[in-house]
């Protein structure tokens, strides 16, 4: 009889933890190795969208998500910088199922981690090396551990240490912009409209605002140009006065919100062109390690959840011998989809930063982008993966 597979997931961010949940739900032996001593509590908002939210519900996390998220719906809209409306923001899929919500990154990490058995996550494990044979994949860690598995999922983020074992090493591409991020307690801006995602666009910059934690926090992200490459981190402190100056003269609603900011963090925006491959033998890439993207479609986390759900289906019932083929199927399904979203996020950034001679043309493209949004929101990662292996899933 063939033995059950053992899978290592390197990285305990949203992507790695979602993969662990997807695998564990199907009874697959999965362990997460995270370099940090504890899972990070830091961060600001992440937008979940219908394609990602539906999958989190399929993982049994709907109730937990509702307790910490803030649903986004009608009234969500795009504006020019002075507040002139451009178009509504689509928040449902084409069957009008909701699923757009603001969630604090730490809350989402917490929900995923809480869904895992106690011994699943091993913190203080920084992966520093990888090797494989026809029958096993071996990880080495900075603490001296050397552990062998049937497959390794590299979910170690945009600066992935494991990516080099799949493709030629390359640096991520700096976008020329940084994002100032943070939140304001709702009681300081009682006039702020409820349950909406609002996005204002001006020359070289844009501002996105949506609620978190049942609407108790109003999360803002101000995207502004910076010539020099900047670090990306949830915890690099920024200057609130500088942030206010960047958006001086914009819609009074934004200016009033920014007047309440007493702490802000900034994040250098980087992505990559789509990689040619994600899989080498028993090693595959997931999330930002595979497809780091600019945040201008709000899909980074959602795509990593799609990766996770896909792997859950594809590894279900696999034997150690099957794994290289199953991981190739994962790449075949996921790489073109994620590449399309990566490229779409770059294109949307040009619209949001008004990099158009003719702004009427930009506005028309924003209005027409609903079909592209729906093609993202309607995607059913479970169904696509099930079709690929011809099995029924645990929903």
**Residues near ligand FAD, by CB under 6 A:** 10-16, 33-36, 45-47, 125-127, 155-157, 161, 232-234, 267, 287-289, 295, 298-301, 304
> Any alpha helices (H) in the chain, and if so which ranges?
14-24, 50-58, 62-68, 105-114, 240-246, 252-259, 300-315, 323-352, 359-368, 370-377, 381-389
151-154 and 6-10 as β-strands: parallel, antiparallel, unpaired? parallel
DSSP 39: -
Closest CB to ligand FAD among residues 15, 386:
15
* Closer of 232 and 251 to ligand FAD (Cβ): 232
Annotated catalytic, 330?
no
Instruction: Considering the complex, state which of residue 202 and residue 292 has its C-beta at the smaller distance from ligand FAD.
Output: 292
SS3 287: helix
Dihedral pair phi/psi, residue 121, rounded to 5° = -105, 125
Residue whose tokens read 């709907």: 62
Residue 79 to residues 186, 246, 254, 266, 359, Cα–Cα distance (Å): 21, 17, 12, 23, 12
CA distance 322 to 25: 20
Using DSSP's 3-state secondary structure scheme, residue 235 falls into coil
H helix intervals, 115-194: none
Q: In what order do the strands lie in the sheet with 279-280?
A: 121-122, 29-33, 6-10, 151-154, 283-285, 279-280
CB of 357 to ligand FAD, least distance (A): 29
200 φ/ψ angles, rounded to the nearest 5 degrees:
-110, 140
DSSP sequence for 366-395 = HHHTHHHHHHHHT--HHHHHHHHHT-----
- CA gap 140, 134 in Å, rounded: 18
Q: Is the dihedral of CA 194, 203, 377, 15 positive or negative?
A: negative
Residue among 78, 165, 183, 210 flagged as catalytic: 210
| Residue showing tokens 């201008």 | 296
Which residues partner with 47 through β-bridges? 102
CB of 36 to ligand FAD, least distance (A): 5
- Least gap, CB of 337 to ligand FAD (angstroms): 15
> Given strand 127-132, what is the order of strands in its sheet?
127-132, 137-141, 146-149
Distance between CA atoms of residues 71 and 214, nearest Å:
7
Per-residue tokens: 313:
């289906």
Catalytically annotated residues: 210
């Amino acid at each position: 009889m063939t033995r059950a597979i053992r899978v290592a997931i390197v990285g305990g961010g949203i992507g790695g933890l979602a993969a662990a949940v997807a695998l564990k739900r199907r009874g697959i032996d999965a362990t997460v190795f995270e370099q940090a001593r504890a899972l990070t509590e830091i961060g600001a908002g992440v937008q979940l969208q219908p394609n990602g939210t539906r999958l989190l519900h399929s993982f049994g996390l709907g109730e937990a998500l509702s307790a910490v998220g803030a649903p986004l719906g009608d009234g969500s809209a795009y504006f020019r910088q002075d507040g002139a409306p451009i178009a509504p923001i689509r928040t449902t899929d084409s069957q009008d199922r909701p699923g757009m919500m603001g969630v604090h990154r730490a809350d989402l990490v917490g929900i995923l981690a809480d869904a895992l058995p106690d011994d699943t996550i091993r913190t203080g494990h920084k992966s520093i090396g990888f090797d494989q044979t026809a029958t096993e994949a071996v990880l080495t860690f900075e603490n001296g551990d050397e552990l062998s598995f049937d497959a390794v999922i590299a979910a170690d983020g945009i600066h992935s240490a494991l990516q080099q074992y799949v493709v030629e090493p390359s640096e991520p591409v700096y976008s020329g912009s940084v994002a100032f991020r943070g939140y304001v307690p709702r009681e300081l801006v009682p006039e702020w409209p409820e349950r909406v995602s609002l996005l204002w666009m001006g020359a070289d910059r844009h501002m996105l605002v949506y609620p978190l934690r049942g609407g108790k926090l109003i999360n803002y992200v101000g995207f502004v140009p910076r010539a020099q490459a900047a670090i990306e981190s949830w915890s690099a402190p920024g200057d609130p006065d500088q942030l206010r100056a960047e958006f001086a003269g914009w819609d009074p609603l934004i200016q009033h919100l920014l007047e309440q900011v007493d702490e802000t963090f900034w994040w250098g925006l980087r992505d990559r062109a789509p990689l040619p491959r994600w899989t080498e033998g028993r090693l595959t890439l997931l999330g930002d390690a595979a497809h780091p993207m600019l945040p201008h479609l709000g899909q980074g986390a959602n795509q990593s959840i799609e990766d996770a759900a896909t792997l859950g289906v594809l590894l279900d019932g696999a034997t150690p011998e099957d794994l290289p083929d199953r991981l190739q199927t994962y790449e075949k399904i996921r790489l073109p989809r994620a590449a399309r979203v990566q490229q779409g996020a770059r294109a949307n950034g040009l619209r949001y930063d008004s990099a158009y001679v003719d702004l009427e043309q930009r506005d028309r493209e924003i209005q027409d982008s609903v079909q592209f949004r729906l093609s993202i929101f309607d995607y059913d990662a479970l169904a696509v993966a099930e079709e690929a292996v011809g099995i029924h899933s645990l929903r």
